Structure 1
Amino acid sequence: MTRTYVTTPIYYVNAEPHLGHAYTTIVGDAITRWSRLLGNDTKYVTGTDEHGLKIQQAADAAGLTPQQFTDEIAPKFAAAWERLNIANDDFIRTTEPRHKAAVAELLQRCYDAGDIELDTFAGKYCVACEEYYSDDELVILDGVEDCCPVHARPVQYFEEENYFFRLSRFQDRLLDWYAKHPTALRPEHRGNEALGLIRGGLRDFSVSRTSLEWGIPLPWDPKHVTYVWFDALTNYLAAVGFGSDDQDYRDWWPATHLIGKDIVRQHCVYWPAMLMSAGVEPPKRWAIGGWLLVGGEKMSKTSGNVVNPLDLIDDIGLDGFRYYVLAETPYGSDGDFTYEGLVGRYNSDLANNLGNLAARVATVVAKKCGGVGTAPSPDSPLAAAATTAYTDAAASWDDLQPSRALDATWGLIRATNAHLEQNEPWKAEPGPAVDAVMGDALEALRIVAILCSPAIPDTAQAVWERIGMSGQVADQRLPDAATWGGYEAGPTVTKGDPLFPRITL
């Protein structure tokens, strides 16, 4: 059996979940739901990053200890993912004992390999990034010098004794590994950015702090607290038992990481080098997403442009929101969120296409076929459209491109609507010809329900039940379930309430 292990970044708990967090988490959910349809043994993990200076400062501002602060915020992420119908198999927090054990194990391995050494560092540091920057990487904004290029705020000057990971030793090893694994970085243009960072030269980076208390002590020198990236990245290993359950770790590792473009350096440069040092296989691949922008800017608490995904669900419905997130923007590109775009996508793709097709088919079957489903024609022109939809959708899901996969699926919806328009069964007398046309449409809807279930699982199940299918659509197994001819005559077809009532702005 094929095992598939997919992770999201773990999210900082210095603020509540927003649309940017939801975007990556929904993408991961859809990819892993597709994996389960293929019959793969699949594990999907998300969680929260709870250590570091940023968290300590946020806790101080709230008048709480860091543990109290994280205990209040972390459950809000778990609750948000439950509300968004995220089928994650695990939710890891970096304050858990299993994570601390994994961090200690990874650190010790790298230290024993001679790749972590004590040194003194003085430099300019962005607390929000948890990252040091050189002068040529900093920018001038509104006349203010030394601003972080990501967070657009002034950096701070730090000087202290740290342990350093000797990243500079790994340039050739990283380039050689990526050359042997050319599809590891997806999409390609984001991967090229990661490779450019490596080719541009690598600086050693700090793995500890003595000026910080909120974190995991180094196993060989507890006066030092683990630097946040060495801590945070290890969650991907901790979630599969590294340092505590070697069999689980061997079964599941390596992983596919979903990350944002702003953390490419840490995930695609630091992380594989750390793993190489520790004698651990690098990840299987990285899916590097763009940002969902609001007013042309990345969402952030500082900018005040944060969109709460749960507010949008109240307006557009759960599956309407999930569909928009997955279909609107090709993964890897930046998207610009607007409420008008959300409603427009909902009305065009969901209300006018899928919802209208399901309602039209049920209405005609009720009037012309006595409400009973009929069998499709083996030589239906929709058979080829169904094959194309599955083939293209499968390739797109495998390439971690949900928007393309959904466009392929909607190709079958469009072809089915066109087939009905061409044959106009609502104008014909009941009989074999009408039965064949409606059987074709019912079979197309059966396949559509399967193919769209990773994106809009509740709606897919509703369509499945309305055309008289039993059981759970999520229990179907591809590719056999997408083979034309699976709908058998006889089930009762029901119309129900509109799946997606049109929304007027």
Structure 2
Amino acid sequence: MADPFYITTAISYPNGKPHIGHAYEAIAADVIARFQRAQGRDVRLVTGTDEHGLKMVQTARGEGMETRAYADKMSSYFKQMCDDLGVSYDTFVRTTEPRHAAASVALWKALETSGDLYLDRYEGWYSVRDEAFYDESELVDGEGGERLSPQGTPVEWTAEETWFFRLSAYQQRLLDHYRDHPDFIQPDSRRNEVIRFVEGGLKDLSVSRTSFDWGVPVPGSPGHVMYVWVDALTTYMTGVGFPEREGDYDRFWPADIHLIGKDIVRFHAVYWPAFLMSAGLPLPKQVYGHGFLLARGGEKMSKSAGNVVDPMELAERFGVDNLRYFLMREISFGQDGSYSAEAIVARCNAELANSFGNLAQRSLSMVFKNLGGVIPAPGAAEADRALLNKVAAACASLDKEFARLAFAQGLEEWMAAVFACNAYVDEMAPWALRKTDPERMAAVLGTLVAAVRQLAIAVAPLIPSSIERLLAAIEAGANGAAIAQPVPIFPRLELPAEEQPA
């Protein structure tokens, strides 16, 4: 039986429509999932929406809607985004589902059994937008002396009876885990930030609310609902069948990777492992905090700044696979990166349309035109073997880099092989060999098609729809059958005149 591999995205908070940052994370998770499937792993990819909390109540009220109806509407946008972007999730979990409430209650009872929950009164700073509590020492002053969270969001003083989790009791256990499992938090910059935070001391965490009722009810404590992060984090186990301790849960938990934005690393690398330790459950193998996708000019996207971009508008304009390729190629994964329409067009035209797409198109077109569409065997000359060896080495390097989530670096190796293939075409000049040495022409074209096929398979997790069409065209020529007349897989992109660089 194939080895299991379990990856999750963050569970998106749907108080607004998906933005390009949500798409970036979903695409990255899908590339990882497809890559691991190609390696023969039995993969589970879980995503979903985190629909509880005060922010959802307030936003729904502002829209003049019931909270549940608003949650249904907004969650559907996130599911549709995943579907439209080709995200091959296995389970989409909504925190308003009964199965998730059962999982959350089971985790709560395990924390209760461990003696790590107690009832007290909370007074302190709370950010509704972040759904997070902050210590006075973490706050910064905004314009006019307004108190802001480290994320720059408004905070308000909150006082209410709540259940507390004994987070302080897990400080040393967490530090020991970080030491013994250096890859638990990645990249290293995130790991270092979390270690400094935990070393600074942990205070017990408020884990229930009484000021609103939109959430999972706390068992045996009327009027209390679970703090939204207790509920949201449990989603990762809901997605594989928790609280049942068999079947998918037994096979896939603990998760191999929680893929999240860097702004929520604390919740996943401090609170979540402490909850699991308390409950006696295995910890995820890795929490990976990727960087932000920034708008032109390096600004973080936000509704308040008015620079939120609908990813589906970009996908419709440039094509899903072009968008997927650009995001994984342009940005060194784990770091912040920026994008623009001009950059998408430049990158995709240079590498997909002009380089790989042109290589595939002219190789197959020459087979169609000169060999009746029948793909010949690769050549055995030294130059042929050298090219195929170079392609094989580049694809192996791509696999190695993708395995460590270094997508841009892996694609750099892949592009070097594409350039080598194009250089081989120019050097061999099969159009000239057609008259002087038809047999050698066939060997050259066979070598090229073999190289294109291997390059296509290697990059399929990234641009699956385009590669599926390309491989279908090649495989149509199996067993001596003729291929159909090729059509370009990556047409050139164009910017409107008003967006052309000056």
C-alpha displacement at 1:445, in angstroms?
Answer: 0.9
Q: Is the CA contact (8 Å cut-off) linking 1:468 and 1:494 kept in structure 2? A: no
Give the secondary-structure state (helix, strand or coil) at the position aligned to 1:11: coil
C-alpha displacement at 1:322, in angstroms?
Answer: 1.2
- Which residue is 2:363 aligned to? 361
Give CA-to-partner distance per residue, 1:246-281, whole Å, 9 cap, x none.
Answer: 332111101111000000000011101110000001
- Distance in 2 between residues matched to 1:497 and 1:406, nearest whole Å: 24
Matched, 1:39 2:40: yes
What is the aligned counterpart of 1:502 among 485, 492, 502?
Answer: 492
RMSD: 1.7
Give CA-to-partner distance per residue, 1:46-89, whole Å, 9 cap, x none.
Answer: 10000000101011111222111111111111111111111111
Q: Could you tell me the TM-score, scaled by structure 1's length?
A: 0.93
- Which residue is 1:194 aligned to? 194
- Distance in 1 between residues matched to 2:272 and 2:66, nearest whole Å: 30
- 1:473-484 pair list within 5 angstroms: none
- Which residue is 1:332 aligned to? 334
Structure 2 segments unaligned to the other structure (5+ residues): 496-502
- Which residue is 1:484 aligned to? none
Matched, 1:447 2:454: yes
Give CA-to-partner distance per residue, 1:202-256, whole Å, 9 cap, x none.
Answer: 2221100111110011113132110011110000011111114633211110111
- Which residue is 2:387 aligned to? 382
- Which residue is 2:145 aligned to? 144
Matched, 1:298 2:288: no
Structure 1 segments unaligned to the other structure (5+ residues): 471-487
Q: Is the CA contact (8 Å cut-off) linking 2:476 and 2:483 kept in structure 1? A: no
- Distance in 1 between residues matched to 2:83 and 2:54, nearest whole Å: 29
- Which residue is 1:80 aligned to? 81
- Distance in 2 between residues matched to 1:160 and 1:195, nearest whole Å: 30
Matched, 1:179 2:179: yes
- Distance in 1 between residues matched to 2:196 and 2:402, nearest whole Å: 27
C-alpha displacement at 1:193, in angstroms?
Answer: 2.1
- Which residue is 1:465 aligned to? 472
- Distance in 1 between residues matched to 2:185 and 2:197, nearest whole Å: 13
- Which residue is 2:498 aligned to? none
Q: Is the CA contact (8 Å cut-off) linking 2:321 and 2:464 kept in structure 1? A: yes
Q: Is the CA contact (8 Å cut-off) linking 1:358 and 1:495 kept in structure 2? A: no
Letter in 1 for 2:466: T
C-alpha displacement at 1:405, in angstroms?
Answer: 2.7
- Distance in 2 between residues matched to 1:61 and 1:376, nearest whole Å: 65
Q: Is the CA contact (8 Å cut-off) linking 2:130 and 2:153 kept in structure 1? A: no
Q: Is the CA contact (8 Å cut-off) linking 1:361 and 1:438 kept in structure 2? A: yes
- Distance in 1 between residues matched to 2:145 and 2:367, nearest whole Å: 68
What is the aligned counterpart of 2:411 among 395, 406, 415?
Answer: 406
Letter in 1 for 2:145: V
Give CA-to-partner distance per residue, 1:13-47, whole Å, 9 cap, x none.
Answer: 10111111000000111110111111111111110
Q: Could you tell me the TM-score, scaled by structure 2's length?
A: 0.93
Matched, 1:242 2:242: yes
> Are the structure 2 counterparts of residues 186 and 494 from structure 1 closer, same or farther at C-alpha, using a change threshold of 3 Å?
farther
C-alpha displacement at 1:361, in angstroms?
Answer: 0.6
Matched, 1:268 2:269: yes
Give the secondary-structure state (helix, strand or coil) at the position aligned to 2:247: helix
Give the secondary-structure state (helix, strand or coil) at the position aligned to 1:217: coil
- Distance in 1 between residues matched to 2:476 and 2:245, nearest whole Å: 41
- Which residue is 1:113 aligned to? 114
> Are the structure 2 counterparts of residues 352 and 49 from structure 1 closer, same or farther at C-alpha, using a change threshold of 3 Å?
same
- 1:280-295 pair list within 5 angstroms: 280-294=281-295, 295=297
Letter in 1 for 2:398: A
Give the secondary-structure state (helix, strand or coil) at the position aligned to 1:42: strand
- Which residue is 2:499 aligned to? none
- Which residue is 1:485 aligned to? none
Letter in 1 for 2:205: F
- Distance in 2 between residues matched to 1:352 and 1:331, nearest whole Å: 25
Letter in 2 for 1:499: I
C-alpha displacement at 1:197, in angstroms?
Answer: 2.1
- Distance in 1 between residues matched to 2:313 and 2:177, nearest whole Å: 44
- Distance in 2 between residues matched to 1:388 and 1:222, nearest whole Å: 62
Q: Is the CA contact (8 Å cut-off) linking 2:290 and 2:333 kept in structure 1? A: yes
- Which residue is 2:226 aligned to? 226
Give the secondary-structure state (helix, strand or coil) at the position aligned to 2:493: coil
Q: Percent identity?
A: 43
Letter in 1 for 2:220: W
- 1:8-19 pair list within 5 angstroms: 8-19=9-20
- Which residue is 1:94 aligned to? 95
- Which residue is 1:418 aligned to? 423
Which range moves more in the overlay, 215-224 or 191-200?
191-200
- Distance in 1 between residues matched to 2:48 and 2:416, nearest whole Å: 35
C-alpha displacement at 1:412, in angstroms?
Answer: 2.2
Give the secondary-structure state (helix, strand or coil) at the position aligned to 1:376: coil
- 1:151-170 pair list within 5 angstroms: 152-170=152-170
- Which residue is 1:482 aligned to? none
> Are the structure 2 counterparts of residues 42 and 11 from structure 1 closer, same or farther at C-alpha, using a change threshold of 3 Å?
same
Give CA-to-partner distance per residue, 1:125-168, whole Å, 9 cap, x none.
Answer: 11111111122211223343311221x23311101111111111
Letter in 1 for 2:135: S
Give CA-to-partner distance per residue, 1:380-418, whole Å, 9 cap, x none.
Answer: 112221222222111122112222233332232122111
